[in-house]
Amino acid sequence: MSRFWLTGASSGIGAALAEQLLEQGHQVALGGRRAEALQALADHYPGQALLSIGDVSDPAQVKAMLAAVEQAWGALDVVILNAGTCEYLEPGRFEAATVERLLRTNVLGVSHCLEAVLPLLRRGRQPHLVVVASAVTWLALPRAGAYGASKAAVRYLMESLRIDLQAEGIDVTLVSPGFVDTPLTQRNDFPMPALWSAERAARHIATRLPKRPLEIRFPALFTLTLRLLGALPARWRLALGRRLARPAQD
């Protein structure tokens, strides 16, 4: 069995994935900000789960989270960086602060985790780094500029870092989900095609992790459609985006 560190484990895909991994008998360090939710999960799996409480956007907290893991286990075999957030840029109300908040969690949070966790992965058995990006990076959509930009940055960061880490024997997998029913997406006020439950998404990820693919995409038809639309000429993509856009708010 492997030693995992999973961020964003207190809700959504992270919570469902944590349960999948614990059910498989792995040791899982449950990373997240909500201690009560993580403790409830850990109580169901005594001896397997380790609490790793903190905010990934704060480098000092990340170091403290990993210090506890290092003291307990000494190394990690699999790291899944799943923590993230989403906000939208409303038409006519562009706010740089929204972009900054998303970059702080989705990009800098990943970066803080990488800096702190790579030394533990290097000591692990057949180390595997898994990072959750998003299917939105294949096609620019209205209102999604801040979120999409943050996840596009994660994609480029990890595809570049994968090249360097391969020489160290660390495999890198990107996860690109479509719409998944989570507390974040439940706030969305627009249709979400091909919506998956968090449990279904977690099962899909967990069953594919042992093969260490370069990328895990789902749902297949939805993500393929986004990739094909994203390959259209720029003017066609603009026309499509305008059809989906909302009018600017007063």
What gap in Å lies between CA 174 and CA 216, rounded to an integer? 6
Judging by beta carbons within 10 Å of its beta carbon (0-12, 13-18, 19+), is residue 228 exposed, middle or buried?
A: exposed
Residue of 45, 88, 147, 156 marked active site:
147
Residues 6+ apart with CB under 8 A from 220: none
Q: Determine the Cα–Cα distance for residues 124 and 60; give it in Å rounded to an integer.
A: 23
Q: Where are the beta strands (DSSP E) in the chain?
A: 3-6, 27-32, 49-53, 78-81, 128-132, 171-177, 180-181, 196-197, 215-218
Question: Do the beta carbons of residue 105 and residue 57 sit within 8 Å?
Answer: yes
Give yes or no for a contact between 62 and 56, defined as CB atoms under 8 angstroms apart.
Answer: yes
147 is catalytic: yes
C-alpha to C-alpha distances, 104 to 107, 134, 227, nearest whole angstrom = 6, 17, 27
d(CA 98, CA 76): 34
Residues with a known catalytic role? 147
